[in-house]
Amino acid sequence: MQTQPIQFSEAGGPWQRIPRWVEFLITCGFIWADTESVGRKLAIVSMPCESAAAGFVVLGAMRRRLAVHDANDSLAHFQRIERLAGHKEVQTFLRHDTYLGRFRLESKDPMGFVWVRREQTSSGKNSLRTIILPSHANAWRFDGEAPIQNVLGIELPYGSFYGQLMQDGFPPIQANLATSDSGICLAGRVAGESVSKNILDSILFQSHDQAVPLPNLLTIQRWSPGTISRVTFFNTRTGQIDRSTGCTRIVIADGDGAFLKVIEAADFRHSNVIGVVHRVLERDRLEAIGIKIAELAQWYAPDSELLKELPPSPGGITISMLKRR
């Protein structure tokens, strides 16, 4: 996967080459984030014990998004508007930062322009019809949703780490190191955000004598204040996401409880979900996962094609994947 100099340390242990199981999880995240889904996909990564495995999957997924042109919040928001403009059977309403009233999303014309029209007011005025451009899409928000938040901050300070992490011909794009993105979300453990972060804090990566904790590489807003953010955080304990987002492509749920909450959450009903669980669980918790998978079988089928794209699993790690029928 890579050559040195990146080194790895877990829980204060000695520096070593990145272990194969960690490389595997990073690669899985990288491949999953590159998948263009026709329908929703779900996955369960089963680990033999407690670990920071979810953080490694997030790191791989984030690394892939860094190599994608225009992978940022502003464009993702416009693409969502553009996509819904083609759904004539469903009415979508928007509001603007400056223009008063509610606007109905009309359609995308042959020239590629997305049109909206203001609803008729009580005074009978209904004259404003305008287009939405990608460069001004953040001024528009979906009716009932918060405005899109384009996180401001300094460029990611560890850009060289991401390039060394995956030497695969997909180098990070410089512009992405300075723009926020919400395509990847980490859903924390149900015990709380501090518990999730403490587990990830036990992991260090080192390159050229510079050591960086895993949470700093993930750039979650609250964990890396002052820098732009490329990963959102969903607090499964409170049901809140840390910032307003465009369109979450993939959610990595840390633990069985997080997975069960995320797959039912309205915010992620169209997102692909990966649950990272360990098998050292009480029997009732293991049974709850099994029951949920059995319930999903009426809408989902095994996804053997995507499994073929993944490298061989190290001993002790198993993966199950489902796709929407």
Residue 2 clears pLDDT 50, i.e. is over it: no
Question: For position 168, what pLDDT does the model report?
Answer: 73
Q: Could you give the number of structural domains in the chain?
A: 2
Element of type H or E holding 205: strand 203-207
User: Does residue 234 share a domain with residue 299?
Assistant: yes
pLDDT 10s digits, 227-282: 888 999 999 999 999 887 667 899 999 999 999 999 989 889 889 999 999 988 88
In a domain, 132, yes or no: yes
Task: Supply the pTM of this predicted model.
Answer: 0.82
Structural domain for 106, as ranges: 76-142
Question: For position 80, what pLDDT does the model report?
Answer: 78
pLDDT greater at residue 74 or residue 218: 218
Residue 61 clears pLDDT 90, i.e. is over it: yes
In a domain, 256, yes or no: yes
In a domain, 1, yes or no: no
d(CA 247, CA 80): 7
User: Does residue 317 share a domain with residue 233?
Assistant: yes
Q: Where does a domain end: 142, 170, 198?
A: 142
Question: For position 12, what pLDDT does the model report?
Answer: 93
User: Does residue 87 share a domain with residue 182?
Assistant: no
* Residue 7: alpha-carbon gap to chain centroid: 26
pLDDT greater at residue 146 or residue 164: 164
User: Does residue 121 share a domain with residue 100?
Assistant: yes
User: Does residue 160 share a domain with residue 64?
Assistant: yes
Question: For position 166, what pLDDT does the model report?
Answer: 83
Counting Cα atoms < 13 Å in the Cβ hemisphere of 285 gives 12
User: Does residue 122 share a domain with residue 253?
Assistant: no
Q: What is the arithmetic mean of pLDDT over 165-189?
A: 88
User: Does residue 55 share a domain with residue 184?
Assistant: yes
Question: For position 1, what pLDDT does the model report?
Answer: 46
Question: For position 199, what pLDDT does the model report?
Answer: 95
- Contact present, 68 and 87 (Cβ < 8 Å): no
User: Does residue 307 share a domain with residue 271?
Assistant: yes
Question: For position 312, what pLDDT does the model report?
Answer: 92
Q: Where does a domain end: 142, 169, 195?
A: 142
User: Does residue 290 share a domain with residue 207?
Assistant: yes
In a domain, 2, yes or no: no
In a domain, 238, yes or no: yes
Query: In whole angstroms, how large is the CA radius of gyration of the chain?
Result: 21
pLDDT 10s digits, 31-60: 999 866 668 999 999 999 999 999 999 999
* Residue 30: alpha-carbon gap to chain centroid: 12
pLDDT category of residue 307 using cuts at 50, 70 and 90: confident
In a domain, 212, yes or no: yes
User: Does residue 255 share a domain with residue 180?
Assistant: yes
User: Does residue 187 share a domain with residue 53?
Assistant: yes
pLDDT category of residue 151 using cuts at 50, 70 and 90: low
Q: What is the arithmetic mean of pLDDT over 281-310?
A: 89
pLDDT 10s digits, 193-215: 999 999 999 999 998 888 999 99
Token code pair at residue 67: 């190599």
- Start-end of H helices in the chain: 20-33, 53-66, 73-85, 159-165, 193-201, 214-218, 256-262, 283-296, 304-309
Q: Where does a domain end: 121, 142, 163?
A: 142
Question: For position 3, what pLDDT does the model report?
Answer: 52
Closest to 72 in 3D by CA, of 173, 222, 145: 173
Q: Which of 109-118, 127-136, 256-265 has the highest mean pLDDT?
A: 256-265
Residue 109 clears pLDDT 90, i.e. is over it: no
Question: For position 255, what pLDDT does the model report?
Answer: 96
pLDDT, the chain, mean: 87
User: Does residue 166 share a domain with residue 24?
Assistant: yes
